[in-house]
Amino acid sequence: MTSERTCYVYIILPGEVALVTAGRFTLTPTADGQAVGRFVYGRKYLARPDGVEIDPVELKLSDRPFETATLGGFFGAIRDAMPDSWGRRIIQKRSGHTQLEEFDYLLESAEDRAGALGFGLNVEPPTPSKEFNRTLQLEQLQAAADAIIRDGGEPEDEVARQADELLFRGSSMGGARPKAVIEDGGALWIAKFSQSEDRWNHPKVEHALLRLAGSCGLDVADSRIVTVAERNVLLVRRFDRDHRADGFRRHRMVSALTLLRADDSATDRANWSYLLLADEIRRSSGDPNADLTELYKRICFNAAVSNLDDHPRNHAIITKDRNWRLSPAYDLTPAPVSATSQRDLAMECGANGRYANRANIVAGHGRFYLDREEAERIFDDIIETVRTGWLPQMRHIGVGEADCTRISKAFLYDGLFYE
């Protein structure tokens, strides 16, 4: 980055469907090749009686400027609104540049990014689009996603070019798997496609796992399967959008990565911890008791099904008004690894680090406002539901027997119960 970059930050306030200007974000290069980010809330915004904070950790409402030198100068809540690896591929392809600056990804990304923020160069915010892709377009979207994975996907003809445009809408959702955002039945859904390298039917297995988590008493995102050109696509209903006659309400959403003030690089994982996340939720949640019990259940569930990709971008808090709450669970996948004595979750889950193990997990009970007996009971109940329920649930969703065998090692591995 060689020169200073600046943009306006817009937000959709609770109950509204139009963007308003909240403040201004500036990124300034420093002599050592790094950058410093600066955010100030606008005076007009601060004077509004209905103005809300962008996030409950870093950018609380205040008239003083905020500065950060971590994450390359990007505040966590702004980073959360930026595309992740999948969305970046789409933007690179669309712009024809592979050497984009972080700031470009912020400005270039589609407006249906997670949460309630928007970014632009004009002080006046744009009108949010009411046009979304439809289920009908899923086949085109899937084909465009395939082409991008296969060969960078040069659009050969007009149809392919149009499909790329469709794919671009919704490209700013995070994550690595190919996906698009579509509207169906008045709601917005994230469509998660299969990939040729998948070792089992990912859409169906993820759907079944979400259902299984629901039957274990977890609060989960709503989902369903659609079939497009003989392939299954998972639709996960967006919990950060609510339909209204005049548009979509958008709810602010902040990832656990931001709550933990962490980065997703492999070298910055010291803060990747459910225990630290519990501490943060205790501070920011409108109902810490309920949210901490829920978070604890998610640890037990993830351990039971070896969802080892439970990194801090796969947890979030969300608010529809002024009350921040843990978001529903999403992105659950079993990892049928061969280790039988020790598997590690992506985040620290007890006194013995990341070890997915009953004694380790139960030992952390105090951090979740639970006494030991409650913590043991919750763990054991979830284990029981997973033990009796995982295979029937997979079959019910239509996961084939060969796939059930492939993923079976993920469930209730031996080390879970070592003393």
Helix locations, 109-157, DSSP H: 138-151
Do 292 and 278 form a contact (C-beta atoms < 8 A)? yes
Least Å distance, CB 62 to ligand ATP, is 26
Neighbours of 152 (CB within 10 A): 11
403: Cβ contacts below 8 Å, ≥ 6 apart: 200, 201, 204, 205, 394
Copy the structure tokens of residue 262: 């962490």
What, of Mg ion, ligand ATP, none, does residue 228 touch, CB below 5 to 8 Å by kind? none
The site for ligand ATP, by CB under 6 A, has a size of 19
Q: Which residue has the tokens 């709810």?
A: 251
- Interface residues for Mg ion in 313-332 (CB under 5 A)? 314, 331
Least Å distance, CB 254 to ligand ATP, is 10
Indicate which single residue of 102, 291, 310, 331 sits in contact with ligand ATP (rule: CB under 6 A): 331
Do 133 and 170 form a contact (C-beta atoms < 8 A)? yes
Residue nearer to Mg ion on the CB measure, 86 or 379? 86
What, of Mg ion, ligand ATP, none, does residue 287 touch, CB below 5 to 8 Å by kind? none
Q: Phi, psi at residue 305, to the nearest 5°? A: -110, 10
Indicate which single residue of 41, 239, 301, 413 sits in contact with ligand ATP (rule: CB under 6 A): 239
Regarding 368 and contact with ligand ATP (CB under 6 A), the answer is no
Neighbours of 400 (CB within 10 A): 13
Indicate which single residue of 53, 108, 112, 240 sits in contact with ligand ATP (rule: CB under 6 A): 240
Regarding 87 and contact with Mg ion (CB under 5 A), the answer is no
Least Å distance, CB 138 to ligand ATP, is 17
Residue nearer to ligand ATP on the CB measure, 297 or 311? 311
Tell me if residue 299 falls in helix, strand or coil.
Answer: helix
Residue nearer to ligand ATP on the CB measure, 73 or 175? 175
Tell me how far apart the alpha carbons of residues 190 and 183 are, in angstroms, rounded to a whole number. Answer: 9
Residue nearer to ligand ATP on the CB measure, 145 or 216? 145
- Interface residues for ligand ATP in 309-328 (CB under 6 A)? 309, 313-314, 316
* Residue in the shown chain whose Cβ atom is closest to Mg ion: 331
Neighbours of 102 (CB within 10 A): 18
What, of Mg ion, ligand ATP, none, does residue 114 touch, CB below 5 to 8 Å by kind? ligand ATP
Residue nearer to ligand ATP on the CB measure, 312 or 364? 312
Least Å distance, CB 354 to ligand ATP, is 17
Residue nearer to ligand ATP on the CB measure, 102 or 240? 240
Burial group, residue 187, by CB count within 10 angstroms (0-12, 13-18, 19+): middle
Regarding 330 and contact with ligand ATP (CB under 6 A), the answer is yes
Tell me if residue 210 falls in helix, strand or coil.
Answer: helix
Regarding 221 and contact with ligand ATP (CB under 6 A), the answer is yes
Do 368 and 375 form a contact (C-beta atoms < 8 A)? yes
Note the maximum CA span of the chain. 63
* Residue in the shown chain whose Cβ atom is closest to ligand ATP: 175
The site for Mg ion, by CB under 5 A, has a size of 3
Task: Please report, for residues 13, 172, 266, the alpha-carbon distance to residue 213 in angstroms, rounded to integers and kept in the order given.
Answer: 32, 27, 28
Tell me how far apart the alpha carbons of residues 275 and 375 are, in angstroms, rounded to a whole number. Answer: 14
Least Å distance, CB 176 to Mg ion, is 7
Tell me how far apart the alpha carbons of residues 112 and 81 are, in angstroms, rounded to a whole number. Answer: 9
Burial group, residue 89, by CB count within 10 angstroms (0-12, 13-18, 19+): buried
Specify the stretch interacting with Mg ion by CB under 5 A; choose among 132-140, 155-163, 172-180, 258-266.
172-180
Tell me how far apart the alpha carbons of residues 19 and 12 are, in angstroms, rounded to a whole number. Answer: 5
What, of ligand ATP, Mg ion, none, does residue 236 touch, CB below 5 to 8 Å by kind? ligand ATP
Regarding 144 and contact with ligand ATP (CB under 6 A), the answer is no
Residue nearer to ligand ATP on the CB measure, 45 or 168? 168
Continuous segment of H or E residues that includes residue 118? strand 117-120
Site mask for ligand ATP (CB under 6 A), range 159-188, x = bound? --------------xxxxx-----------
Regarding 175 and contact with Mg ion (CB under 5 A), the answer is yes
Please count the CA atoms within 13 angstroms of the CA of 310 that sit on its side-chain side: 29
Helix axis angle, 372-397 to 202-215, nearest 10°: 140
Residue nearer to Mg ion on the CB measure, 169 or 192? 192
Regarding 118 and contact with Mg ion (CB under 5 A), the answer is no
Which residues contact Mg ion by CB under 5 A? 175, 314, 331
